[in-house]
Amino acid sequence: MSETFRLEELDGKIALVTFDLPDKKVNTLGQSSLRELAGLVAKLAQRTDLRGLLFQSGKPGQFVAGADLNDLAMLAVITPEQATGALAAGHQIYNQISNLPFPTVALIDGNCLGGGTELVLSMDDRIASDASHTAIGLPETKVGLIPGWGGTQRLPRLIGLNPAIEMITSGEPANAQKAAALGLVFDAVPADRLVEEGRRRIESLQKTGEWKDRREQLRKGLGLDQDQMMFAFAVAEGFVKQKTKGQYPAPLVALKAIREGCNLPLDEGLKAEQKAVGELVGSPILGNLIAIFFMKNRLTRDPGVSDPSIQPRQIHSIGVLGTGLMGAGIATAHARSGIRTAMVDIDDDRLKDGLQRASDVVMSRIRIGRATPEDMAKMLAMLNTSTNPSVFADADLIVEAITENEDAKKEAFRKIAQVMKPEAILASNTSTISITRLAESTPHPDRFVGMHFFNPVDRMELVEVIRGEKTSDETVATVVALAKKIRKTPIVVRDCAGFLVNRVLFPYMNEAQVLLREGVSMEAIDRASTRFGMPMGPITLTDLVGLATTVYAGKVVGAAYPDRSVESPILLEMLQTSGGGKSAMRFYNAPKAKGSRPEPNPAALEIIQKHQAGGQPMDEPEITDRLFLPMLLEATRVLEEGIVREPGDVDMGLILGIGFPPFRGGILRWADTVGAQNLVDKLSKYAHLGKRFEPTESLRKLARDGGSFYPRPKQDAS
């Protein structure tokens, strides 16, 4: 038998169990570890001689990460009955733990999540290490599930209805101090005192006999009256619905489990929970959310290149040229992660603005409690500014983030080449210009790469890493590793107009303009998009991106794909009338009062009307088709051309880059849900619109073969 759970006996008849999954970095609760735990618990149940049990993790700074990922994936494809069976083992063991004939105390240092939290909830008490890496939570609703090993029942009984509702529906973990304030743990103490404090807690539980009363108390219902219940759930449901827009069922199902179980005895409450889990398993939304979880996991491990011998270079310091919104954002992201950063622009005023932007980022995080004044000091200590590019001399990598002008960029590269280390990597944050072409103006095209951040840099976690024709594997691997180091999610993309995200977004934005000309109102277009799940509609997005940028980017991408792009005379005339920049005309006026709907701008309406060519009224499903089918076709072309390596890259790029609705799993996963043949049929309805709606070869093939972009999940629940 392997040593997943080590049992030792401390002085005074205290059992100390150490959970240490062999050959793994973190502890998870899979089928085999649960079996072993069951065996151990059965033995301990006979030990009436013990005074108490302490439970800890053998992984430094990692307690229990939750259920095993493969077990989690299975939940997407099994039936409710199978789910109940699969969850039964966990329930049984946790119930046995809560009945051991002596007090039990968990010693938590590091992440304690999901099934790990449910495990410690089955014990009599918990003590957390006060280290900043301690996080105790039930994140299940974030992946479309609810806690299924008693979390929805034991947590409210322990910390009270409302804190439990908040933790479970938000999925946000509590740090040690918050956990102590909530009564989720007895105390927060330094990690090296955990065992000692655990022993003291066992003694106090024994001395007062309190552990027996606590068990009895926790087995009862909460005893809330009707007003307390009705009010709490009315408010919580309202809040959850507002947050999820009705698109994510899990938090509401969790609320239902809590509502139906919290006033009942625990064992009946646990049944309410199991019934609720059954509502979620096997649903497409759960499948999509779990898939995203795995795609994200894959990207965090992906080195960005297929050759395993390639090692990323160490990057100790970087340079950023340009202190605008993007440049300052990129510099701040690096400086915040402890990488020495030199920011260069042409005059002191611009440097001042750049520094201001950098400190604004940290200030806004301090305001919401996500950073401390020390973080500000550390960031500023890492950030150096100059008007002289010679400060780039010791940079391992230099990112260019100046205006989108090819000549200006080439000129900048020539200047940087004169001062930089010969082996340094040069990167461009361009969103539209060919990386292969820009590489020609640099001394070492193999060490030139696109590093495309999204706005606002501090909040958007996607970075497109664009490899030009000559970019080397080492360069790609280095930039991928660097992006991860600054807590971004990199996706490697081959050079093409628009790269991944903007290329796939373009046909959708393009079609929105076509629809305007066909007489569909801007509100109807945006509504169809947000009902589909997008965070905002394409017309609102145009206002956000800015008129001049939209027109310019549209020209570049449109020129590259002329067979399927339509120039928008509306955008052109709006730009001609108002110019770009701050005075640029918007489709919507800013809302008059906070919370009220933005009204269409009459000046824009006038221009739209001028270019309208009649048209029939269009219902919402048709508008949705018109917007998203061209986006899908472009996504299939990106795959066909090998711009990215797998469907998951496209879907994650869209989810992270433009907020494509996670519950749909991405555009390709959405396509799989609809079915290739259905999509081809839908497209034939729009054949008269030309190339924009012509099925691509890969889509036709999938329709013929009954295939899908992603392999179909196996229906194996054994």
Q: Which is nearer to other proteins, 157 or 452 (CB)?
A: 157
> Which one of residues 46, 48, 242, 718 is an interface residue with other proteins (CB under 8 A)?
242
Catalytic residue at 452? yes
Count Cβ atoms below 10 Å from residue 535 Cβ, excluding itself.
13
181 near other proteins (CB under 8 A): yes
224 near other proteins (CB under 8 A): yes
190 near other proteins (CB under 8 A): no
Total chain residues near other proteins (CB under 8 A) = 26
Burial 411-423 (b: 16+ CB within 10 A, else e): ebbeebbebbeee
- Give the range of 17-25, 178-186, 381-389, 419-427 binding other proteins by CB under 8 A: 178-186
Using CA atoms, how far apart are residues 278 and 269, in angstroms rounded to an integer?
15
228 near other proteins (CB under 8 A): yes
- Give the range of 175-183, 185-193, 358-366, 453-461 binding other proteins by CB under 8 A: 175-183
Q: Which is nearer to other proteins, 67 or 155 (CB)?
A: 155
For residue 113, give the 3-state DSSP assignment: strand
DSSP class per residue in 351-379: HHHHHHHHHHHHHHHHHTTSS-HHHHHHH
What is the nearest approach in angstroms of other proteins to the Cβ of residue 210? 17
What is the nearest approach in angstroms of other proteins to the Cβ of residue 282? 30
- Give the range of 144-152, 162-170, 399-407, 624-632 binding other proteins by CB under 8 A: 162-170
- Residues whose CB falls within 8 Å of the CB of residue 420, separated by 6 or more in sequence, listed in order: 319, 392, 393, 395, 398, 426
Q: Which is nearer to other proteins, 229 or 603 (CB)?
A: 229
Is the Cβ–Cβ distance between 579 and 571 less than 8 Å?
Answer: no
> Which one of residues 17, 37, 44, 182 is an interface residue with other proteins (CB under 8 A)?
182
Give the CA-trace dihedral at 152, 158, 163, 168, to 10 degrees. -20
Window 578-637: residues binding other proteins (CB under 8 A): 595-596
Q: Which is nearer to other proteins, 228 or 359 (CB)?
A: 228
- Give the range of 1-9, 195-203, 217-225, 313-321 binding other proteins by CB under 8 A: 217-225
Is the Cβ–Cβ distance between 491 and 461 less than 8 Å?
Answer: no
Using CA atoms, how far apart are residues 428 and 672, in angstroms rounded to an integer?
35
162 near other proteins (CB under 8 A): yes
Which residue in 94, 104, 113, 229 sits closest to 167, CA to CA?
A: 113
Our measurement of the distance from residue 344's CA atom to the centroid of its chain's CA atoms, rounded to an integer in Å, reads 32
Which amino acid is it at 86? A
Half-sphere exposure of 176 (CA within 13 A, CB side): 22
- Give the range of 191-199, 228-236, 537-545, 549-557 binding other proteins by CB under 8 A: 228-236
Is the Cβ–Cβ distance between 57 and 115 less than 8 Å?
Answer: no
Q: Length of the chain, please?
A: 718
159 near other proteins (CB under 8 A): yes
> Which one of residues 11, 227, 307, 347 is an interface residue with other proteins (CB under 8 A)?
227
Using CA atoms, how far apart are residues 69 and 296, in angstroms rounded to an integer?
13
236 near other proteins (CB under 8 A): yes
Q: What angle do CA 30, 31, 34 make, to 5 degrees?
A: 85
163 near other proteins (CB under 8 A): yes
38 near other proteins (CB under 8 A): no
Catalytic pick among 91, 452, 611, 688: 452
177 near other proteins (CB under 8 A): no
> Which one of residues 222, 536, 556, 566 is an interface residue with other proteins (CB under 8 A)?
222
**Residues taking part in catalysis:** 452
Contacts with other proteins by CB under 8 A lie at 159-163, 165-166, 181-183, 222, 224-225, 227-228, 230-232, 234-236, 238, 241-242, 595-596
